[in-house]
Amino acid sequence: MTANLLDYDLEGLAAFCERLGEKRFRATQLFRWLHQKGATDFAQMTDLAKSLREKLAGAAHIQGPKVVSRHDSADGTIKWLFDVGAGDVIETVFIPETDRGTLCISSQAGCAVGCRFCSTGHQGFSRNLTTGEIISQLWFAEHFLRQHLGREDRVISNVVMMGMGEPLQNYSQLLPALKVMLDDHGYGLSRRRVTVSTSGVVPMIDRLAKDCPVALAVSLHAPEDTLRDNLVPLNKKYPIAELLQACTRYQSSAPRDFITFEYCMLDGVNDQPEHARQLVSLVQAHAAQGLSCKFNLIPFNPFPASGLKRSDMPQVSAFAKILLDAGIVTTVRKTRGDDIDAACGQLAGDVQDRTGVEQRMAAQRQGMLGGIKVVVAKGMGV
């Protein structure tokens, strides 16, 4: 079986070239052809010796993603569905802005975390993506968009690992992909412009800080453990105090001077003034240990299986005001691509679930209802 060259970062590609009996510098030339020029055929690589091109043709291939469909939103957002084999389909979203172009990339086919408010989590989990399957989303989108928009300069300036899956549960394949994104011979993205979003895999946050610190976004969604246990099941393993300690440790290596906390606004569940005041107390307690953060409040994108509703905008604004008045930088995420189901929490693709998600989610919904009754009894005003 031949090697897919998109599976390698530059160091891995250099080792591959050495196995072919070639000098390591050939890897840099090859890497540029792959990622800067989007080459799909070794015959295109005209500055490589013919003998090397013949070796590559026999030992390697360039396998991009197989496009199932493309959906264009009225706001310019584009969503692709990619076939990754064995009945699994993943989704990738491009979000254009006046000052940047952001690509939202998937790291898994499905997701095993099972957050209540995320449609990917309700779908279940099939498998981790390979490095090539992760980076090929950027490889395809960047070169498609250059042709589509008639541009020669770079179109994608920001990458967010916020698509399907929990990136830090696929760390071994994520890390080389991040290195390709950052490499000047690849996409040359700034560490500040590559963001890994996690639901809170604490040991991997610490590893990322050592191996490849990029911008970090943490899916918080609740100010205390009882509520977060129901919304983000991973919290039972890594509760809020441990998670925020990991964020504080990460900050010393992070390329930005803050950690972003994502907070999905759920009507009557986590959006009350008391929840906002609890967040203020939580952040202030950890600020004394060196944590600096901002909050990104995310309007929930409803889907039937969740049993949840979106907070109305006056409620979101009132919640944000409490945080802002306490001196916490707070933004409300603008919903993009919701007319093509490409907005935050809507990515579902189509995967062969191996986790029995329907049974787990049904039990979780019942537990959530019980949890809400307990909270009301405690007078928290949910």
Confidence of residue 121 (pLDDT cuts 50, 70, 90): confident
Secondary structure (H, E, C), 281-292: HHHHHHHCCCCC
Could you give the CA distance from residue 198 to residue 302 in angstroms, rounded to a whole number?
Answer: 21
Q: Is the CA virtual torsion 261, 264, 270, 271 positive or negative?
A: positive
pLDDT in tens, 32-70: 999 999 999 999 999 999 999 999 999 999 999 999 999
Could you give the CA distance from residue 262 to residue 1 in angstroms, rounded to a whole number?
Answer: 42
Compute how many other C-beta atoms are within 10 angstroms of the C-beta atom of residue 296: 17
Assigned token pair, 143: 């070169």
Average pLDDT of the chain to the nearest whole number: 90
The pLDDT of 225-231, averaged and rounded, is 97
CB half-sphere exposure, 19, CA atoms < 13 A: 10
Which pLDDT score is estimated for 71? 94
Could you give the CA distance from residue 199 to residue 113 in angstroms, rounded to a whole number?
Answer: 8
Active site residues: 91, 344
Could you give the CA distance from residue 114 to residue 82 in angstroms, rounded to a whole number?
Answer: 22
Which pairing describes strands 78-83 and 66-72: parallel, antiparallel, or unpaired? antiparallel
CATH number of this structure's domain 66-377? 3.20.20.70
Q: What percent of the chain has pLDDT over 90?
A: 82
Which pLDDT score is estimated for 369? 43
For the chain, domain boundaries? 3-61, 66-377
Enumerate residues 6+ apart whose C-beta is below 8 A from 141: 80, 92, 94, 103, 156
Contact criterion met (CB below 8 Å) for 107 and 168:
no
pTM exceeds cut of 0.85: yes
Assigned token pair, 164: 């399907």
CATH number of this structure's domain 3-61? 1.10.150.530
Does the fold of domain 66-377 match that of domain 3-61?
A: no
